[in-house]
Amino acid sequence: MIRTSRRLADGRELLYFDADGSAPARTAEDPRDLPPVSTRSQLRWDPLLGEWVVLASHRQTRTFLPPADLCPLCPTRPGRESTEVPEADYQVVVFENRFPSLATTVDTDVPPVAPGAPLTGLRPGFGRCEVVVFTSEHDRSFATLGQDRARLVVDVWAERTAELSGIDGVEQVFVFENSGEEIGVTLSHPHGQIYAYPFVTPRVEKVLASVARHRADTGGDLFADVLAAERSGPRVVAGNPHWTAFVPAAARWPYEVQVFPHRRVPDLAALDGDERDALAGLYLDVLGRFARRFDTPMPYIAAWNQAPVARGREDWWLHLQLFSLRRAPGKLKYLAGSESGMGAFISDTTPEDVAEQLRAPA
């Protein structure tokens, strides 16, 4: 993989990633006249839930569903000069988000607590938010990228995970893709994102607590025990010698698949070459199964659960959550009173039925 580093007109970093032996010179300049990025994010501590909340009110003005001919993720070509990518073509690009929730340049002069709330601690919204664009072709999807491009994206995810984990103050790196307007996507060009958080996220904290509790109660490894049970159970969707994709027995979402490597690794950067090859193939397979399930594209979130940077790494097992809120043709699963109010999920599907549906040949 060949990496080329450039800067956008407002100083944000732009990285081109090309497969070995196929990289042209990446010398195009960003011609736009852009103001400096201004980030006013804060972290506020919720004392009842014991969780950090990110406030990023400046994101209200971010780009929202532009027409295809004004897509900011397409390459710069005649008649389309105002994009985030100055080159006329590219393979995979990564750049700092123009409207970031977290930023390394955030204002650090914040009071210790929220106004009138002495139990609600404040911290600067430090971190980094990156956009990962999978292809220069606007009308593609990840499921149609092909093995070589998917493998390049896996390598990019791993490289960015390693680099962002090295930033002082970053505690967790989250790689993810939102796909479909129903999910809340504001740009239709195929892309994902990476968040480098200054805290360990609530989900990871909760899983680590469950791992510790399982070890204390049974002496076993919770991740290993779950994976061993699912690999021999009725909910396997697809697999290969290095990975297994299955519908979890207690799936929360109408369509949900978890993808686990067979070897314990803390994050994407720790995968070896064979595991990355196998992941690219299996991920395309599973995404294809999602895409074919209904007559219209399946909206989804693909969320890589990686180990925290500084703790719990020896206990963590990398895995992917791929899930959709579509429960039937033309019907979505809304997070209503029980889910949104109490965090208690009520599923409209049965994991065993979903696994059987996704296993069905095209």
Cα separation of 108 and 125, whole Å? Answer: 8
Note whether 2-188 and 203-359 share their fold. Answer: yes
Nearest to 306 by CA among 269, 340, 338, 267: 267
* Residues 323-338 as b or e (16 or more Cβ within 10 Å = b): bbbbbeeeeebeeeee
User: For the domain bounded by 203-359, which CATH number is listed?
Assistant: 3.30.428.10
Residues 6+ apart with CB under 8 A from 312: 200, 204, 208
Token pair in block for residue 264: 């314990």
Count CA atoms closer than 13 A to 301's CA, side-chain side: 14
Supply the angle between the helices 351-359 and 273-293 in degrees, to the nearest 10.
Answer: 100
Cα separation of 8 and 31, whole Å? Answer: 9
Query: Could you tell me where the DSSP H helices lie in 101-146?
Result: none
**251 with 347: CB under 8 angstroms?**
yes
214 is catalytic: no
Cα separation of 285 and 274, whole Å? Answer: 17
**Domain ranges, ordered by start, for the chain:** 2-188, 203-359
Q: Which tens digit of pLDDT belongs to each residue from 25-77?
A: 899 999 999 998 878 899 999 999 999 999 988 777 777 778 888 899 999 98
Q: What pLDDT is stored for residue 226 in this prediction?
A: 98
Q: What pLDDT is stored for residue 362 in this prediction?
A: 66
Token pair in block for residue 44: 């506020």
Kindly name the residue from 191, 214, 262, 319 that is annotated as catalytic: 191
| Fold classification of 2-188 (topology level) | HIT family, subunit A (3.30.428)
In three-state secondary structure terms, 337 is: helix
Nearest to 178 by CA among 196, 166, 193: 193
Cα separation of 286 and 257, whole Å? Answer: 8
> Checking DSSP bridges between strand 2-7 and strand 13-18, what pairing results, if any?
antiparallel
The phi-psi region of residue 79 (left if phi > 0; otherwise alpha if psi is between -120 and 50; otherwise beta) is left
Count CA atoms closer than 13 A to 195's CA, side-chain side: 19
The pTM of this model reads: 0.96
* Residues 73-97 as b or e (16 or more Cβ within 10 Å = b): bbbbeeeeeebbbbbeebbbbbbbb
Token pair in block for residue 154: 């896996």
Cα separation of 82 and 233, whole Å? Answer: 51
Residues 6+ apart with CB under 8 A from 218: 225
Q: Tell me which residues of the chain have a pLDDT lower than 50.
A: none
Handedness of CA 304, 274, 242, 298 (dihedral sign): positive
